Structure formats: C-alpha cells, structure tokens
Amino acid sequence: MDRKQVLRIYSRFLDKNNHEKEDLIVKTLSILERLAQVVKKHPKRIAFADLNKNYTYIQLWQGISGVANKLNKEFSGKNPVLIYGANDFDMLVAMLGVNAAGQAYIPVDEHTPDSRVRLIIDSSKPVAIIVVSAKNMDDFNGKLFKGYPVFFLEDFDYQSELTTISLEEAVRGEDTNYLIYTSGTTGAPKGVEVSHQNLLSFTEWMLCDFKSIEENQVLLQAPFSFDLSIFSLYPALLSGGTLVSLSKEETSNFKKLFERLNTTEINTWISTPSFVDICLIDPSFTEKNHPKLEQFIFCGEELTVRVAGKLLEKFPNSVVWNTYGPTEATGAVTSVQVTADLLEEYQRLPIGKAKAGVEIRIHDPETKQPVSLGEQGEIVIVGDSVARGYYRNSEKTIEVFGVIDGKPAYYTGDAGRIDTTGQLLYQGRIDFQVKMNGYRIELQDIESHLSSFAAIEKAIVLPQMDYDQRVRSLIAVIVPKEEVNNEREFGKLIREGLKGKIMDYMMPARFILMEEFPLNKNGKVDRNVLTEKLIEQR
C-alpha cells in the first residue's frame, strides 16, 4: 500500500460526513456553546486574573463577540488565523473569538524568533494574523507579516452585547480547533492539527477524572503556544473557574514569582515538573501557607520520584497526578495519582492508564507489531485523542499517523512498556527527540540550523542528563571546517547566530569542538560513544 492510499484511509476516519460521528456531534454541545452557558450563569465571576487586573466572564464573551463578528464580516471558510502575542487576556479572547468565527487558531508566542515565526507563517498560510503583542508594531506589517491581512486590538469592538454573537459558524465536531507548531527534524516546525472533538474529549476527561473543585482557581503557567496550556484553559472556563495567569516576567524572575504565588489563591496547580521543582526551593511553598492548593497536575516531561516525594512532603493532603501525552494526542491520554505507596513501589514513576476513548499499545518499532505484555517497545496511542495529523504536511503525517482497528493511531517514538498492574511505564525516546523543562525538542532541528553555518562542517546535539535521568541541558558538539584558535569565542559567535533561528529553550548550554565524530559499524555517527567521550572529559 503506497502513502497516498494510507492517507486516504486515514482521512476517511476524520471525514466530517461520517454519519456515525455526526450523530454523536448533534447530541453534544460544542465548547463555545458550553462556555456561553457558563457566561449566562456566572457573568460577573472572574474568568481570567493576571498580576494587574481581573476579567469577568461577561468581559471575556464581549471580547469573543467582537473578534468573531469582525472576522465573520471579513472572511469565510475554515482557514486558520495566526495569533501573535503573550500569555494574557487579549490573546485568550482572540483565540476563542477565532473559534467562534469558525476558524482554527495558531498561537505564536511573542518571544519566538522572527525567523521561526516566518517559517510557521509560510507553512500554515493563515487567512489573517491577529497581533496582540506589546512589542513594537511598526515593523510587523512591512516585514514579519508581509503579504497577510493583519489585525490589531483596536480593530475589534469589545463592547458587543452577549446576544449579538451567533455560534452557527463556530468550530465543532471534526473542525480543526487549533494548530500548535512543534520542533521538526529538518528545522521546519510541524503544525499539529487538533480537532474540536479531540479537544472536547480531552476537556471532558479533565473535568470527570480529576478532582472537582467549586469555583476552581487554576494556574496558567504554560504559554498558549505550548499544549500544556489546554490543561488549564478549557477545563477552567467550562466549569466556571478562574485562570490565574503568570507572565513570562514572573516565571523568569524568582523574586517576582514567589511574591505572586504568596499573594494569590490557587486551587489546582498545572505545570511541568521542572517548574514546581523551582517553586519547591522557596521555604514558603508549603501547605500551611497555601491551604487552598488542593490538586497538582503534571505533564510535559517526566515527573521524578524525587520531585514527587518533596511535593507530597510539603503538601501531604493535596492530590498529585502524573499524566502523559504528546501534542499529537491532544494534551494527555494517561494519568495516575501519585501517592506515598506508589513512590515506594516504583523507582521510576508510571505514567498511568488510558483515558476513556483511548487505547495504549506497545509495538515493536521495527515491525510495527504488538509485543508481549511487559516487553518494551514503542508507545502507540489509538483512539479519539489522536490529532488529524500535521497541517499541510502529508509526508510527515504518514510517517507517524495511521489507522488501527478502524481508529486513528499515533506512533509516538516514545519507548515504554505496560506492567502486570496495567500501568504504562515511560522509558525514554527511540529517536532523537527529548523533553526539557516541558518543551519537546527535536535535536535534529538544532543540528540542521548549526549545519547551515559556513564555519561548521558537522554538528551533533546531545542531551545532558541530571541525577534523575532528566534532561538538564543540551550540548552541541561541532566539527569546524577550519582550525579554531579560540574555542570560547567561536562558541559565542555560534550562539549569537542561533538566537534568531531557534527558540531560547532550544539553545545549547555548551559548544564543544572535535576534529571528527566516532562512527558505528554502519558508518553513522555513534551518539552513544560520543556521549561517553563527553562524560570522560568532564
């Protein structure tokens, strides 16, 4: 079977004309219809809180209405809209307003290098761009966003009445809800196309299977361009909760961060394990000082026994959840409650059991066939959480998406096994992808950019692990084209050159020069030997 045939089969299961799915959709309120009900019930309740201001549900809906009404006048169809900005109320309004107008949104953080923003634009070809960034607007139209209609905040009427917005054209069912761009092996980011039904299934799982808290104050730490943000965003809003947003300035400054946390009430904490590990440094981050903090939910990277143990020691009465799932499977698909007994039973924490609508399989990465219970292989996710694929990238879609037993499937590239209790155990990557501080990074993405430098012959990027076997930093090992007299200055030049090409979290911490790379018997760079050499040089 060729690739086109596989793609046609996969697409058939995502077709909006599938009658069985349409019957289900008719019986189900969309996300925005559910949000409208919350607005009517709790118009003056706080929906979004940042350091300086609180915003009510009626203010949120007025903003959504303004964006949707403007876009409905300007455009039709289902083409995506790119939204450029920070983790603030205006960006939230723009995202939901775009969905209300029937289009998918593409969240792009304002701290993204311009060259990467342009790659995302060229890949997605959005119908329009909404700028809600506080950056200098003067250069945007002529340079970064050249060739696309651009809207700014003042272009939208935020005074629309609640009754003026129609949700007839809003995203629903198998419509694409959003695109999140992840790191790609060639240096070109890939847009994961998540449907409304994917997101609705995820949100219902979060609201049903985790602790339910009345008027939930939910931490929003992750940027909207990072899919961890959907853990906070949709469950909080659809349950009438409050999103407690942290700005980049707060998350990057310990003093400001701890001041904010100690003056803010949070009931549900959602973050990467690395972020809570930083917060645990503060002696005041305890249950005594945060008595309303009832629940912790982690995803984005591995939660270690050490971090979980410290957290349970400081918050003995809180519920702690470990979850797992890639962007391609809509946030997360497994969960397990972390208890003292679980910490005693496992040296490496399990990542749980599958949510309703999803099956976890373990396949041999070479044969793509299931392995026996307990054996290690590639984690394969099957079911309603699997995204539509990579937007406008059928070749990459076919490589990792497929159909198993009539259901969409995603081959994660993660190694794992299922133990005799049914718990899924994560055991690293089978390829060259790592997670650091919650961000998924394709090492070959960075290598591609390094190889584009005239002074570099070859480049390999390796993860440096800490004592918990978690990625602490990245090391770039370089074979220069010519002899380098000053290795430190050379590294500085390469670092400066990379700043405009990659995200800051992808930047290698060290640049090491070598005359040649060790090769394996197949003539490929032996990354294991190279890693051992670096360990010996420490």
- pLDDT, tens digit, for every residue of 224-247? 999 999 999 999 999 999 999 999
CATH number assigned to the domain comprising residue 165: 3.40.50.980
Does the pLDDT value for residue 506 go beyond 80? yes
pLDDT at 135: 62
**Residue 185 confidence class, pLDDT cut points 50, 70, 90:** low
pLDDT at 503 over 60: yes
Looking at per-residue pLDDT, the higher value among 154 and 490 belongs to: 490
Predicted pLDDT at 259? 95
pLDDT(429) > 90: no
Task: Specify the CATH number for the domain of residue 527.
Answer: 3.30.300.30
CA 290 – CA 264 distance, rounded (Å): 9
Give the pLDDT mean for 326-344: 97
Angle at 500 between CA 499 and CA 503, to 5 degrees: 65
398-418 pLDDT, tens digit per residue, is 999 999 999 999 999 999 999
- Say which residue, 500 or 83, is predicted with more confidence: 83
17 assigned to some structural domain: no
pLDDT tens-place string over residues 123-147? 999 999 999 975 655 555 557 898 8
- Per the domain annotation, does 389 fall within a domain? no
* More confident site: 301 or 141: 301
Of 114-128, 142-156, 210-224, which gets the smallest average pLDDT?
142-156
Phi, psi of 330 (to 5 degrees): 60, 70
Domain boundary among 127, 147, 171: 171
Q: DSSP letter for 169, please.
A: T
Strands 358-363 and 377-383: antiparallel
Classified as helix, coil or strand, 57 is helix
Question: What pLDDT shows up at residue 533?
Answer: 77
The confidence score (pLDDT) of residue 458 equals 87
Q: Is residue 163 pLDDT above 60, yes or no? A: no
> 171, 189, 211 — which closes off a domain?
171
Higher pLDDT, 536 or 181: 181
Range of the domain at 467: 435-537
Tokens 């059928």 found at = 394
Predicted confidence at residue 142, as pLDDT, reads 59
Q: CA geometry: angle at 499 spanning 530 and 80, to 5°?
A: 105
Domain total in the chain: 2
- Position 425 in a domain: no
Sign of CA dihedral 534, 449, 465, 112: positive
The pTM score is: 0.84
Residue 14 pLDDT > 90: no
Which whole-number Å values give the CA distances from 50 to 249, 343, 362, 414, in the listed order?
12, 35, 42, 36
Note the pLDDT tens digit of each residue in 464-492: 988 777 888 999 999 998 999 999 999 99
Residues 6+ apart with CB under 8 A from 523: none
Look up residue 502 and give its two tokens.
Answer: 């990659």
CA angle 299, 126, 90 (to 5 degrees): 60
The pLDDT of residue 16 is above 50: no
- Single out the residue in 171, 198, 215 at which a domain terminates: 171
Q: What string of DSSP letters covers 228-255?
A: THHHHHHHHHHTT-EEEE--HHHHT-HH
**Is residue 227 included in any domain, yes or no?**
no
- Does some domain include residue 299? no
Is residue 17 scored above 70 in pLDDT?
no
What strand order describes the sheet that includes 353-354? 54-56, 46-49, 242-245, 217-220, 268-271, 295-298, 319-324, 334-338, 353-354
Higher confidence at residue 187 or residue 442? Answer: 442
Question: Helices 443-451 and 487-499 meet at what angle, rounded to 10?
Answer: 110
> Is 325 a member of any domain?
no
Flag whether 102 is in a domain: yes
pLDDT of residue 237: 98
- Phi and psi at residue 31, in whole multiples of 5°? -60, -45
CA distances 319 to 29, 121, 315, 332, Å, are: 30, 41, 9, 18
pLDDT for 15 beyond 60: no
Q: Rounded to whole angstroms, how far apart are CA atoms 435 and 224?
A: 18
Task: State mean pLDDT over 93-112.
Answer: 95
pLDDT value of position 177: 98
439 in any annotated domain: yes
Q: What is the mean pLDDT of the chain?
A: 89
Q: Which helix (H) or strand (E) holds 488?
A: helix 487-499
